[in-house]
A and B are shown apart, each in its own frame.
Chain A
Amino acid sequence: MKDLVIIGGGPAGMSAAIAAYESGVRDILILERDAGLGGILQQCIHNGFGLHKFGEELTGPEYAWKYEKRVKELGIEHKLNTMVLDVTPDKVVTATNSEDGIFQIKAKAIILAMGCRERSKGALNIAGTRPAGIYSAGTAQKFVNTKGFLPGKNVVILGSGDIGLIMARRMTLEGAKVHAVCELMPYSGGLARNIEQCLNDFDIPLLLQHTVVEIHGKERLEGVTIAKVDANKKPICETMKYIPCDTLLLSVGLIPENELSKGANVDISSITNGAIVDQNRQTSCDGIFACGNVLHVHDLVDFVSGEAEIAGKAAADYINGRQKDKTNIVINADGKIRYTVPQKITEQKDVKVYFRVNDIYKNAKILVRDGDKVVLSKRKPRLAPGEMEYVTITAEQLKNAKTLDFCLEVQ
């Protein structure tokens, strides 16, 4: 029996553990599948982490170390090389490692912090052969940054997610030639600063509304055919172009890893692919919380840490019987606003509601309505799918609210 079991020792898991500890919980166990704490930050050796949280530019390992050090100072128990196999709705966690074998722990509360995975090439159904030389950007990052090997020298990147942009620069610094970054959409899903610093600064072309239509090569990749796509994302034949290359990196989306959550019967949003949560980041399962990229994909680790603090503190309140559920306010998002987190509010207090839009909008207005009543209205000069936004709804504004409809007014 444990008070709190946290699944995942990345930035979300560590931050949640520290917050729970600081809210009075002592009996905490972090289960981490890798050989060290830190999660994916361990391989993110570029800087840019921590600007919001610490006001300084840190590398991934430096950012992770701030939390790891604190976890160790506080003496929070963690098991490494430990894979969680199953979580039940009544909060029994089954895990395995070399020392303990397969073991079970019953927890009073669980925080899901498993992170996300990259969408693979297989999911895209690109025509052609299946040679070596095709990797997700994160896999290439692992080879380069932690193993010290270069997966290729002539590179095309499909998708302009942040990891793809970072790897365009990283491969270039290692002497590889990045011929192009192809993005299916008319805009990049990555951060504006990454487009600037990782592509423009190195003269790497970003081809918007382009995709890879065929893969060539028998043993090792020999080239790809790319094409411009029309408004329906269908390749335009006349624009097909062959680019010789030995490597194709994919940065075509991240998927929260919710296989364990589904096993625990946690309700999953079909839009975020993460759990549906309230302002405490509590899922549909009593006492099971979720935070970080397993809940929804974040653009900045600083936001992950912030969200995990909410979950950690709320789990502590839950364990100590301090949780106050009174209201039940459902948040709806219109078509232009792709999703919000949380999706419901159960307590009348100030709540930051995070959201993401589905396209690029300029001079837009966020409107939050409760029926006909406008609860909140906020102007945003620029909104992009790659950049998460939030509004704060005060306890006062939540008074007597039943539903909150988030919508976007565009001029």
Chain B
Amino acid sequence: MYDIAIIGAGVIGGLIARALSKYDLKICILEKENDVAMGATKANSAIVHAGFDAKEGSLKAQLNVKGSKMMPEVCRELGVHYKNNGSLVIGFDDEDRATINTLLQRGIKNQVEGLKILEKDELKALEPNISDSVSCALYAPTGAIVCPYDLTIAAIGNAMDNGAELKCNFEVTGIKRDDNDYEIFSRNDSIKAKYVINCAGLYSDEIAKMVGDNSFNVHARRGEYILLDKEAGNLVSHTIFRTPSKMGKGILVTPTVHGNLLLGPTSVDIDDKENKSTTQGGFEDIIENAKQNVVAVPIGKTITSFCGLRAVGSTGDFIINSPKQNFINVAGIESPGLSASPAIAEYVVNLLKENGLELKENSTYNPCRESAHAFCDATIEEKNKMIKNNPAYGRIVCRCEGITEGEILAAIHRNPKARDLDGIKRRTRAQMGRCQGGFCGPYITEILSRELCVPFDEITKFGGESKINLCQTKGGKSQ
């Protein structure tokens, strides 16, 4: 019997698990995929928004501003790269200027610090590659960038180090309430818990319906992105937004914490919650818009493109209710969900406390996790010490990103353990460079096979049937 079951191992579930692992509670995180951070968390703009977008007084506004203030400390504790690069909302005409003024006023009401309107000259001095036809911009110095799956993996790893459990490939198929407890079923397993926290992202409405709550719906909004090589990473240093319109925040151009350049997202509502296809129209839309905002975007330096699905709730705001029969929905966490995530976790813990959950401190709780980038970020002297202790740090497996076997082994053996190629990719960045795993893919497959004691041809890209190899060759040695 668990005290708490958290459904969904995205950034929200992960940070809630971590916040609760501070207390003496038996926690289980349930995830339908083979790894954590596989839903909306995996593919979004990776922005910590300053907080001037959301309507004043909304939960989105309140938690965004608070969350973005908490983010640097959370990232420091978890060893996650965070960069306070500031953001710019650029405008081209009078209509844009009026909108930018509205955003400024809203930001002030939301208590966003340091907002300022920049005129063309100041703007061009700050970001020389911004389009020449720009007229003004809203500058938000507190805007930042973070890697959402890095944050989630670290938060869940930290929660697990503090006692939480993680069950992957546990797709919730039913929830039963017995007396005062819940029994949660997957196809071939079940667990019992006193409290259930529904962080199931796109599927949170379906989970809610399993306990008879039909009060909201969640639909998918497709967002396509194009990622450029690090050689293009210095094109801009701030996150560049277009002045928002009814169609959303538009196509942004931003550096990532890893030094790449990210363009996107498109914004199209779709019915299919599984459809993560990119489209030709999407590519064209991104490229055309990015080129309007920033000059000389080197599209030829594209290394990959991808599509994420935002979980859009039917109420227009985050849906976080007080526990009803010990069941909490944390749903409709679309943008600025990543920015708000640390504050959402704290908010949920308080709701549980108000509801009477006894929160006794976990005496062994450690808020810190060794950074996944500890080797990468070390000085040459420190690296040499690490190589001496563990020669695997002297073997570079991913040549494009310079990732060593030592880092790959850590990804496999540290919580939450990587079990497939994409899991290694998100934890270490191996396969994420310009060759996209062309060279290191076979080596990583071999390391996974060896370390997990799984046959070579059963190693997958991301679980399920996503096998890398289908069988042995005619001359391949028999198992």
Binding site for B on A (CB under 8 A): 33, 81, 83, 85, 96-102, 117-118, 120-123, 125, 127-132, 135-136, 138-139, 142-144, 146-153, 174-175, 213-214, 218-220, 246, 259
Contact = CB atoms under 8 A, between A and B. Distances in A.
Interface string B463-479: 11111111111111100
A117 B439 contact: yes
B399 A33 contact: yes
A220 B384 CA distance: 41
A132 B467 contact: yes
A147 B442 contact: yes
A136 B466 CA distance: 17
5 contacts: A102-B383, A122-B227, A136-B438, A139-B442, A220-B465
Interface string B437-479: 1110110011000000000110011111111111111111100
B391 interface: yes
B464 A219 contact: yes
B384 A127 contact: no
A96 B387 contact: yes
B249 interface: no
B84 interface: no
A215 to B, nearest CB: 8
A210 to B, nearest CB: 16
Given A122-B436, A219-B466, 15 more contacts: A81-B395, A96-B383, A98-B392, A102-B380, A122-B304, A125-B226, A136-B435, A147-B445, A148-B477, A150-B470, A150-B471, A150-B476, A151-B468, A213-B280, A220-B466
Interface string B378-396: 0010011001100111111
B402 interface: yes
Contacts of B402: 83, 85
A261 B302 CA distance: 21
A122 B303 contact: yes
A138 to B, nearest CB: 7
A232 B165 CA distance: 55
Contacts of A132: 460-462, 466-468
A97 B469 CA distance: 30
Given A101-B383, A139-B441, A130 B276 contact: yes
B393 to A, nearest CB: 8
B438 A118 contact: yes
Contacts of B475: 148
Nearest to B421: A132
Interface of B: 226-227, 274, 276-280, 282-283, 302-306, 380, 383-384, 387-388, 391-396, 399-400, 402, 434-439, 441-442, 445-446, 456-457, 460-477
A125 B474 contact: no
Residue of B276, B387, B392, B462 most packed against chain A (CB within 10 A): B387
Contact of A220 (B395, B467, B473): B467
A97 B462 CA distance: 30
A129 B442 contact: no
A96 B302 contact: no
A220 B465 CA distance: 6
Contact of A130 (B306, B435, B457, B471): B306
Given A213-B280, A219-B465, A148 B383 contact: no
A117 B434 contact: yes
Nearest to A40: B439
B463 to A, nearest CB: 8
A104 to B, nearest CB: 9
A96 B402 CA distance: 10
A149 B476 contact: yes
A151 B470 contact: yes
A130 B437 CA distance: 14
B383 A97 contact: no
Given A132-B462, A219-B466, A174 B383 contact: no
Contacts of B391: 98-99
Given A96-B387, A117-B439, A151-B470, A122 B305 contact: yes
Contacts of B441: 135, 139
Contacts of A214: 277
A281 to B, nearest CB: 23
A139 B468 CA distance: 11
Contacts of A152: 470
Nearest to A43: B442
A101 B399 CA distance: 16
Contacts of A175: 474
Contact of A139 (B279, B280, B396, B438): B438
A253 B392 CA distance: 32
B394 A101 contact: yes
Contacts of A122: 227, 302-305, 436
A138 B439 CA distance: 8
Contacts of A121: 304, 436
The 6 A-B residue pairs with the shortest CB-CB distance, nearest first, are A148-B476, A122-B304, A98-B394, A98-B391, A120-B436, A132-B461
A139 B457 CA distance: 15
Nearest to A173: B474
Given A101-B384, A218-B274, A120 B473 contact: no
Nearest to B457: A149
A391 B477 CA distance: 49
Given A83-B396, A98-B391, A125 B472 contact: no
B277 A129 contact: yes
A138 B396 CA distance: 19
A398 to B, nearest CB: 36
Residue with the highest number of chain B CB atoms closer than 10 Å, among A81, A102, A120, A218: A120
Contacts of A117: 434-435, 438-439
A326 B448 CA distance: 57
Interface centre among A117, A130, A144, A174 (most CB of B within 10 A): A130
Nearest to B301: A123
A33 B396 contact: yes
Nearest to B383: A102
A4 to B, nearest CB: 23
A273 to B, nearest CB: 11
A392 to B, nearest CB: 35
A359 B225 CA distance: 34
Contacts of A85: 402
Contacts of B461: 131-132
B435 A118 contact: yes
B275 to A, nearest CB: 8
A399 B475 CA distance: 59
Contact of B469 (A131, A138, A150): A150
Which of B226, B383, B434 is packed against the most chain A CB atoms within 10 Å?
A: B434
A127 B286 CA distance: 13
Contact of A125 (B305, B466, B470): B305
A146 B467 CA distance: 18
Nearest to A104: B380
A118 B434 CA distance: 10
